[in-house]
Amino acid sequence: MPPAQASSSAAPSPHAARRSARARSEFALRYFVQLLRTHPGYAAGYLIVVIVSAVAVGAPLVAPHSPITADLSVYLQPPSISHPFGTDGTGMDVFSRVIFAPRVDLVIAMIGTVISAVIGIAFGAWGGYFHETSGPRGFLSNSMMRAADVIQAFPVFVFAIALVAVIGQSIASVVFAVAFVNIPIYLRLMRSQALSIRRMRYVEAAFVSGMSDLVIVRRHILPNAIAPALAHLSVNVGWSILLTAGLSFVGAGVRAPTPEWGSMIAMGFPNVMTGQWWPSVFPGLALAVTVYGFALIGASIEFMADPRRRRALANAAAPAPQAKS
């Protein structure tokens, strides 16, 4: 039975349903804690993302200097107590800029990913449901997939830069480019799920009982097909951060002096050649650790999605006095 129906269908009493729901969420929580305890790496992933987000929110409180004020009297200072990560070629404090950067990188990556997921999931479910049906809707569904083929045949990075060039360089257009190149992934994930689900008995039953296509897609296809797409979100955010930083690195994304990891690495590039490593190394390190955190969360979701490994862990997480008859 599709989860969306669980509450409205004939449960013995609403009270019992609520209690079992609470028991289930309690079990999920205990199971999650068990997962983090047995796999400290995953816990580190969640910790990294929480810390980076907290630092981004509280950046003005943490940063010792202004992230965009150049003080030429202290340019290219190595790391010291007043400048923990040193200063860059224009005398800006690298530490403060690294702290402020996730405000740009994280926000662009998250908004971009969410937009692409919403569009890709909606159209993917719709396209999978109408795949190879006759009439204009089937035709539209197929054309949509061919369009996705073409988009994916483009080299991602060049395509993203071209998109930014077309709509003009700004943070909004970087978000647009990130969202656009990611849509086909969700489209495919969702469509392949929808293709198998639409053959299920409960979908047929819904159709026979006279539900409209739109309601079937919303009530049955969407909730049952969405898991793989949601599981991809975390990895995708990390990947989008890399894309944003890459765009800014070549000068097609966020422009200096706005603190952003990719453009900071680019600004420090000439200094690295002459031996001053800090203006580039620290932002890159922050970037890599953040992406790594999102990748670890993605790996933990992948772990939980694997029924065999989940069962093994659930057995360990279940309360001990479970009588086995």
Partner 1 sequence: MAILRYLGGRLLFLVPQMVGIVLVGFILIKAVPGDPATLMLGPMATPDSIAKLRGDLGLDKPVTTQFLIYLKKLAHGDFGTSWQTTQPVLEDLKVRFPATLELVTFGLLLALAIGIPLGIVSAVRKTGFLAKLGDSYGLVAGALPDFWLALILIYVFYSVLGWVSSPIGRIDITMVPPTATGFYTLGSLLEGNWAAFRSSIQHLVLPVATLGLINAGPILKMTQSTMQRMLQSDFSEYERLCGLPERLVMRHALRNALPSVVTIVSVLYGFLIGGAVLVEIVFSWGGAGQYAVQGVLNSDFNPVLGFVIFSALFSLVVYFTVDLVYLAIDPRIRH
Q: Answer yes or no: are the C-beta atoms of 127 and 148 closer than 8 Å.
A: no
Amino acid in the structure at residue 118: V
Answer for which of 149, 172, 215, 309 binds partner 1 (CB under 8 A) is 149
**C-alpha distances in Å from residue 196, one per residue of 128, 190, 207, 231, 295:** 9, 10, 16, 18, 28
- For residue 273, state whether it binds partner 1 (rule: CB under 8 A): yes
The DSSP letter of residue 9 is S
- For residue 280, state whether it binds partner 1 (rule: CB under 8 A): yes
Helices and strands in the chain, H and E counts: 14, 0
- For residue 2, state whether it binds partner 1 (rule: CB under 8 A): no
Long-range contacts of residues 142-150, Cβ cutoff 8 Å, at least 24 apart? 144/187, 145/187, 145/191, 148/183, 148/184, 148/187, 148/188
**Counting beta carbons within 10 angstroms of the beta carbon of residue 19, is it exposed (0 to 12), middle (13 to 18) or buried (19 or more)?**
exposed
CA separation for the pair 225, 24 (Å, rounded): 21
Q: How far is the CB of 278 from partner 1 (least distance, A)?
A: 10
The residue among 75 and 292 lying less far from partner 1, judged by its C-beta, is 292
- For residue 136, state whether it binds partner 1 (rule: CB under 8 A): no
- For residue 180, state whether it binds partner 1 (rule: CB under 8 A): no
The residue among 99 and 241 lying less far from partner 1, judged by its C-beta, is 241
- For residue 288, state whether it binds partner 1 (rule: CB under 8 A): yes
- For residue 245, state whether it binds partner 1 (rule: CB under 8 A): yes
Q: CA nearest 287: which of 319, 321, 253, 239? A: 239
Preceding peptide of 257 cis, ω within 30° = yes
- For residue 292, state whether it binds partner 1 (rule: CB under 8 A): yes
The residue among 246 and 257 lying less far from partner 1, judged by its C-beta, is 246
CA-derived radius of gyration, the chain = 24
Rounded to 10°, the helix 227-249/94-129 angle is: 140
- For residue 249, state whether it binds partner 1 (rule: CB under 8 A): yes
- For residue 139, state whether it binds partner 1 (rule: CB under 8 A): no
- For residue 272, state whether it binds partner 1 (rule: CB under 8 A): yes
Q: Per-residue x/- mask for partner 1, residues 35 to 64, rule CB under 8 A?
A: ------x-----------------------
- For residue 168, state whether it binds partner 1 (rule: CB under 8 A): yes
Helix or strand or coil: residue 287?
Answer: helix
Answer for which of 156, 200, 211, 314 binds partner 1 (CB under 8 A) is 156
Number of residues that bind partner 1 (CB under 8 A): 47
Q: CA nearest 176: which of 116, 133, 258? A: 116
Interface segment toward partner 1; rule CB under 8 A; list 85-93, 96-104, 198-206, 266-274:
266-274
- For residue 185, state whether it binds partner 1 (rule: CB under 8 A): no
Answer for which of 72, 166, 305, 312 binds partner 1 (CB under 8 A) is 166
Question: Which positions touch partner 1 (CB under 8 A)?
Answer: 41, 146-147, 149-151, 153-159, 161-163, 165-166, 168, 238, 242, 245-246, 249-252, 262, 265, 268-269, 272-275, 277, 280-281, 284, 287-289, 291-292, 295-296, 299
